[in-house]
Structure 1
Amino acid sequence: MNQAFKILEFDKIINKLKEYAFTENAKRHLEEIKPYLSESELEHSLLETTQARIILDTFGNPPLVSLNEIEDILIAVRQGGFITPKQLEYIGITLTAVMRLKDFLKRCKQLNISLPYYEEQLDSLEQLRYEIGEKIRAERVDDYASKLLRSLRQDIEQVDAKMRQKAESILKSNKECFTDSYITQRSGRICLPVKKECKFKISGSTIDKSSTGATLFIEPTVVSKLNDELINLRLDEENEERRILYSLASKIHDEEEVFYENIRVIEKLDFIFAKGKLSFDMKGVTPEINTRRWIKIINGRHPFLDPDQCVALNFEMGDGINGVIITGPNTGGKTVAIKTVGLLSIMAQCGLHVPCEAGNFAMNSQYLCDIGDGQNITENLSTFSAHITNILSILQKANHDSLVIVDELGSGTDPTEGMGIAIAILEELRKSECLYLATTHYPEVKAYAEKTQHVMNARMAFDRESLKPLYRLEVGKAGESCALQIAKRLGMPSQMLITASKAAYGEEQSQWITELNIKEDISFKQSVAPKLQRKKEKQPPNNLTEKFSIGDSVMILPDNKIGIVCMKVNEKGILQVQLREKKIWINHKRVKLHVRAEELYPDGYDFSIVFDSVATRKARHQMERKYDETLEIKIEE
């Protein structure tokens, strides 16, 4: 998605639209929605949104459904694959939904608008829908799907009942032979729980036995004969079910084009009604569109602000005014105002309704924005560098049909130079003849707007009595930052305000001190802060580092093992000793001097012979002569 769209929060609008859609295809098209560049296509899209809103207001939500599984079923049918009763039932439910949607759209035709006439492109395939409903129920082939199937299932019930009667009869007549007084099933066969010692008294096949072997599960011979008959009946039943399923699948395949047309129309309606539902949810209106480079918003609001609390935006530019420079205090709503203009313009050009009383929006070929600090640590960009990099890119792209929005113009650097850069940027934007909105605090920029043709000042209203922003944009007037007044209201001490006033206004500072109604004797009061608790630095035990030297022969207690000191005692009282098979770290208290190093080795002895491997010593010797990147010296611990 265009970065400017994300900055202006159009991605959130798309997410809202996707929540209203049912079909995956509609969601995908909504995710790809972008401003129309064709005026006629945009007018058609807006007309669809408006008619969807009319239907929603009059008749409520249409009975749209998800069609996400239909295409997979159609592909399986086309390839001659087997489709399940569950899938057929889903097809039937879908055709029922098509029928209900057709009925809904037929009622909507009384509104005398064109959208309901999509009904004529839908076909609920009444005969097929009826046949599926008659033959498939509860995700299985119904008993009455065919006379043969009904007959087979009746025969299966009778044979199954006869098998149980025979088994029950044997059970009752030979009670002493059984461990339980009921029949059971093993491996899908009816069996009797026969005592092991009575197995020859019951004629039949042993199917299973208990874990102890004391009970045998025997299928009586008379039951076995009936079971063979039952198996044949079940095979016939399965074949008949398959015949019915393939017959229905074949009929679905014959109507494949109708199914795809239904899918296309429903997805199109889903897309259109998602736009209508967004309009309904945010109380939107149909915007007017122009190519005369003119924007007018009457009582507009940002879509994601509470309509009962936000102050309505009234804004107009164009007809000779290409640039609007907005000034005013921080937290006064400047950024919200310019983002609202940008977002509503994008929504209107995407064929969506906008949340305002009325609006007329220019079609733009590009939306170019610089809002936020843009700081990027990975690219080593400061706030100012990020702004300039982005704005230079904007200036290269901007043309007559662009809408440019820049927040805090010239900020993030030396105020004097920042002011000069801000005016230079505005001058380039003016030359490009694009529409542009910018916010700033520089008084020189306000003066530039007053004397420059095609540029106008605007301000966010501010109540100087209560020192609170009114969040109301006033076009044609320059605003003040009111920074000292706001700082005073937020609790800045008088002495700091006096210092700030002197630095800002020099000789005129007394006027500002009077206006601020501050006293010079009030100073900044420091609050009590928590104290850091620093830990005491650990001192190494006295003379421990000198207790042992490298090469000393020592005895490890209590094992009385002899070793050689590799590393001297550290601040924790630990040293390293080379034993015969390994090196160990050990507390100095468990080590006793055996023989001093100077008694064992001559002066300047190379202890690497004792402590390092042959390979490591060779590598070290080679590296001392010249660097070799293929060599590796391992430090053993």
Structure 2
Amino acid sequence: MNQKALKTLEYHKIITQLAQYASSDSGKELCRNLIPSTDYHEIVRAQQETTDAATRVRQKGSISFGGVRDIRPSLKRLDVGSALGMAEILSISSLLTVSARVKAYGRHEDSELPEDSLEESFRMLEPLTPVNTEIKRCILSEEEVSDDASPGLHHVRRSMRSINDKIHTQLNSILNSNRTYLQDAVITMRDGRYCLPVKSEHKSQVSGMVHDQSSTGSTLFIEPMAIVKLNNDLRALEIQEQKEIEMVLADLSNQLAPYLNELETDFEILTKLDFIFAKAALSKHYNASEPIFNTKRIINIKDGRHPLLDPSKVVPITIHLGRDFDLLIVTGPNTGGKTVSLKTVGLFTLMGQSGLHIPAFDGSELAVFDEVFADIGDEQSIEQSLSTFSAHMTNIVHILGQADSNSLCLFDELGAGTDPTEGAALAISILSFLHNMKCRTMATTHYSELKVFALTTPGVENACCEFNVETLKPTYRLLIGVPGKSNAFAISQKLGLPDYIIDDAKTHLEAKDETFEDLLTHLEENRVTIEKERIQIASYKLEVEQLKTRLTQKEERLDERRDHMIREAKEEAQRILRDAKETADQTIRSINKLAADSGVAKELEAQRSKLRNKLQDVDSSLSLKNEKKQPGKQIDPRKLKLGDGVKVLSMNLNGTVSSLPNAKGDLYVQMGILRSLVNLSDLELLHEESVSTPAGIGSRKSGSGSSSTRMSKSFSISPEINLIGMTTDEAIPQLDKYLDDAYLAHLPQVRVVHGRGTGALKNAVHKHLKKLKYVKDFRLGAFGEGDSGVTIVTFK
């Protein structure tokens, strides 16, 4: 891959960011040396490794390779039989420690998970735990070896401590007895031997060997004769200690020598893994995805974001090239995003062929190119440098000499910097040459001739960067299939250029140019209209899908509810029939028994009456007949109050008074969620104990047990309960039983009438409702529902 394209497309800035995510020096070096590959299989393998590393990071978190050191020079020394120093052995130990940690990270906790492309690398790591444990036991730091590293070293250091103690005892004794002769009451060392600081005028008073003197000459550092032998012994032990340390290091080196291949493999694998996980970290930073590579030279980028632009401001672009056309000409005003589009395509290609994910939507496609060529003006690049026409043409000549059908060519403002007519002609000739070679090419331009060339040439397509003339701002959206306008007149008019100047400028346009610009304006207007309608249609489709889903769910719930009710009814009918059969069998047995006795007629008639009554009870329980209306007692309108419990006879429903009667005797009654205007003559005042009783149940005996009662409740449970006048202890049990009945009857919501009063009953009701699992929510009544004297309860 040519270096000029890498520099022009700012590939090195991506590599710099990548190196920052590597933990080890060797991993950073591998990142810095990364270049795009042209081998399809190598690219796919590198992409898969990045994806697998990113997946592991999401599942297990990140991992550090910071302890990886370059041990290759040490391995060469081991190979020739040399002993390593403490720092070198500790570097190998650090590498082995990282190997153990990374190998543990690489193990799958779930053995059923499939192996990925990194599995073999994790498996090949050799932590050499026994050798590493021995190194950590013997060497504490780069300057300290443990006393227990060897028996000889332990013995020598114990002897050294004993002699040190003796020397200090002797020196302290001399120091205390000759303090007047000493410059300071301290013990010092000179040339590795213990000394005392003696005043120069008293040197004859302290017998010993002079080792040094102060810069002023007033102090002499004398080794007393009493400790000369002890210092000599200590020096000999120090020499012996160094020999023991060298023996320890030699022994550790011998233990490492058989594992040269394993150690080198560990270093290479950890460096590679550090590099791969750095690519995964960069992918996470960019919120990138793995591109799909093909060998058909097709590019299809979905919502691509240039990685070097501010993520909060960059506008995603969708662009395709190579399937229906191999040459794309992008037009539009300056600062509209044309150069960014070029650089995005080129940089994505370089990143993808380097095994890096690209910041685009899943499913984006890239092609494998042998070369990427870019002639992009730097006026909009970070460096802000300018290029001349001759420099551009020199670069284009080089591109034309090197490009082939496996190349991607990018041109920014092709043919600019010279006479527009000649520049446009040159640009068309250059693009025609590349198009005939089937080279994948993108070019930006202002020339109308190139727009016509794209419209009239097969395999060539127009594109533009959208510009909002009203706001004079680009939208940075790339629109393929639509040529762009320069918008020079519109922009100038918005900026305040007089109309007479703009009208005069239009007269200098050729008729064909003006017609072409009008055509572009008409196409742009149609495109904007179609885009708005497309968005509106998509919104309608989404709304229809949501309504369809809700309707389907509602039908499923109704079907389930119907099936449940039918199943319960069948079970109840079967139970009733079993009871009837048992009764009939028992009656027949009794008849047979009585037949043999006297007075059979009288007893037989009694048994028949008993059977007839039983069958009537069965018929009553199966037929769920409506209770006949009972004429209600006339209600005195003067005694009627808001919140009183009443029964609407025509509807057979219980409710509460929500307004006082007018002159005609009409008033509003709230019955659950239904509020209706009824007349006093159609009302019956309910007693408090019957407010919560389901209509039609309290006056009828159950002839078939509890199951029949439940079935009756499911059809006639009242939509409200009146607790006014009750104490808290009386109201809560009544409320609890009523809510159970209402929930079993599948009522969606009910009203609890508790009145205003002191609020104690309301608070007790609300506290109890919070404890019930089948209550979805509850609220105080709104205006017309009873206000704060009523609580509306909704079931799940």
User: The TM-score by the shorter chain falls in which range?
Assistant: 0.7 to 0.9
CA contact (8 A) 2:135 2:252 kept: yes
User: Partners in 1 of 2:67 and 2:498 — Cα distance?
Assistant: 63
Match of 1:128 among 113, 127, 131: 131
CA contact (8 A) 1:467 1:485 kept: no
Deviations 1:86-110 (A, max 9, x none): 3322322221111111111114775
1:468: how far off?
1.8
The aligned runs of 1:317-332 (5 Å cut-off) are 317-332=321-336
CA contact (8 A) 1:118 1:265 kept: yes
Q: What letter corresponds to residue 173 of structure 1 in structure 2?
A: S
Q: 1:64 to 1:182 in 2, by over 3 A?
A: closer
Which residue of structure 2 aligns with residue 113 of structure 1? Answer: 115
Is structure 2 residue 183 aligned with structure 1 residue 192? no
The aligned runs of 1:586-601 (5 Å cut-off) are none
Which residue of structure 2 aligns with residue 276 of structure 1? Answer: 280
1:290: how far off?
1.2
User: Partners in 2 of 1:214 and 1:12 — Cα distance?
Assistant: 65
User: Partners in 1 of 2:72 and 2:343 — Cα distance?
Assistant: 41
User: Partners in 2 of 1:195 and 1:463 — Cα distance?
Assistant: 94
User: Partners in 2 of 1:371 and 1:68 — Cα distance?
Assistant: 42
User: Partners in 2 of 1:28 and 1:105 — Cα distance?
Assistant: 23
Is structure 2 residue 211 aligned with structure 1 residue 207? yes
1:58: how far off?
1.4
User: Partners in 2 of 1:489 and 1:283 — Cα distance?
Assistant: 39
Which residue of structure 2 aligns with residue 415 of structure 1? Answer: 420
1:147: how far off?
2.2
CA contact (8 A) 1:458 1:478 kept: yes
Deviations 1:38-83 (A, max 9, x none): 3222221211111111111211212323534422322333345453
Q: What letter corresponds to residue 191 of structure 2 in structure 1?
A: S
Which sits farther off after the overlay, 87-96 or 298-307? 87-96
Q: What letter corresponds to residue 302 of structure 1 in structure 2?
A: H
Deviations 1:508-565 (A, max 9, x none): 99xx9xxxxxxxxxxxxxxxxxxxxxxxxxxxxxxxxxxxxxxxxxxxxxxxxxxxxx
Q: 1:213 to 1:327 in 2, by over 3 A?
A: closer
Which residue of structure 2 aligns with residue 371 of structure 1? Answer: 376
Match of 1:259 among 263, 277, 281: 263
1:495: how far off?
7.0
1:466: how far off?
2.1
Q: What letter corresponds to residue 119 of structure 1 in structure 2?
A: F
User: Partners in 2 of 1:52 and 1:253 — Cα distance?
Assistant: 33
Match of 1:397 among 389, 398, 402: 402
Which sits farther off after the overlay, 321-330 or 387-396? 387-396
Give SS of 1:478's match: coil
Which sits farther off after the overlay, 88-97 or 446-455? 88-97
User: Partners in 1 of 2:406 and 2:442 — Cα distance?
Assistant: 14
1:434: how far off?
0.9
User: Partners in 2 of 1:226 and 1:55 — Cα distance?
Assistant: 63
Q: 1:200 to 1:296 in 2, by over 3 A?
A: closer
Deviations 1:329-386 (A, max 9, x none): 1111111112111211222222221111131122212211111169xxxxxx972222
User: Partners in 2 of 1:439 and 1:333 — Cα distance?
Assistant: 10
CA contact (8 A) 1:51 1:113 kept: no
Match of 2:347 among 343, 350, 362: 343
- For the aligned residues, what is the CA RMSD? 2.9
Which sits farther off after the overlay, 471-480 or 391-400? 391-400
User: Partners in 2 of 1:105 and 1:337 — Cα distance?
Assistant: 40
The aligned runs of 1:165-184 (5 Å cut-off) are 165-184=169-188
In the superposition, the TM-score normalised over structure 1's length comes to: 0.74
Q: 1:169 to 1:337 in 2, by over 3 A?
A: same
Which residue of structure 2 aligns with residue 469 of structure 1? Answer: 474
In the superposition, the TM-score normalised over structure 2's length comes to: 0.60
Which residue of structure 1 aligns with residue 141 of structure 2? Answer: 138
User: Partners in 2 of 1:445 and 1:233 — Cα distance?
Assistant: 91
Q: 1:229 to 1:470 in 2, by over 3 A?
A: same
User: Partners in 2 of 1:394 and 1:215 — Cα distance?
Assistant: 82
User: Partners in 1 of 2:33 and 2:183 — Cα distance?
Assistant: 71
Q: 1:204 to 1:499 in 2, by over 3 A?
A: same
Match of 1:458 among 463, 470, 478: 463
1:217: how far off?
3.3
Identity between Structure 1 and Structure 2 (%): 38
Structure number with the bigger relative contact order (C-alpha 8 A, sep ≥ 6) is 1
User: Partners in 1 of 2:81 and 2:115 — Cα distance?
Assistant: 43
Which one has the largest radius of gyration?
Answer: 2
Deviations 1:157-206 (A, max 9, x none): 11111112112223333445444444433333223344555544433223
Is structure 2 residue 431 aligned with structure 1 residue 429? no
User: Partners in 1 of 2:85 and 2:367 — Cα distance?
Assistant: 54
Q: 1:47 to 1:198 in 2, by over 3 A?
A: closer
User: Partners in 2 of 1:467 and 1:196 — Cα distance?
Assistant: 93
Give SS of 1:297's match: strand
CA contact (8 A) 1:193 1:217 kept: yes
User: Partners in 2 of 1:305 and 1:337 — Cα distance?
Assistant: 12
Give SS of 1:159's match: helix
User: Partners in 2 of 1:34 and 1:473 — Cα distance?
Assistant: 29
CA contact (8 A) 1:89 1:137 kept: no
Which sits farther off after the overlay, 259-268 or 396-405? 396-405
Match of 2:299 among 283, 292, 295: 295
Deviations 1:276-308 (A, max 9, x none): 122111111111111222211111111112333
Which residue of structure 2 aligns with residue 71 of structure 1? Answer: 72
Q: What letter corresponds to residue 425 of structure 1 in structure 2?
A: I
User: Partners in 2 of 1:36 and 1:108 — Cα distance?
Assistant: 35
Which residue of structure 2 aligns with residue 154 of structure 1? Answer: 158
CA contact (8 A) 1:5 1:11 kept: yes
Q: What letter corresponds to residue 402 of structure 2 in structure 1?
A: K
Which residue of structure 2 aligns with residue 576 of structure 1? Answer: none
CA contact (8 A) 2:69 2:94 kept: no
Alignment coverage as a number of residue pairs: 508
User: Partners in 1 of 2:175 and 2:335 — Cα distance?
Assistant: 90
Q: 1:125 to 1:466 in 2, by over 3 A?
A: same
Which sits farther off after the overlay, 72-81 or 245-254? 72-81
User: Partners in 2 of 1:167 and 1:310 — Cα distance?
Assistant: 78
1:423: how far off?
1.3
User: Partners in 2 of 1:20 and 1:181 — Cα distance?
Assistant: 57
Q: 1:472 to 1:496 in 2, by over 3 A?
A: same
Match of 1:232 among 236, 261, 265: 236
CA contact (8 A) 2:68 2:98 kept: no
Is structure 2 residue 185 aligned with structure 1 residue 163? no
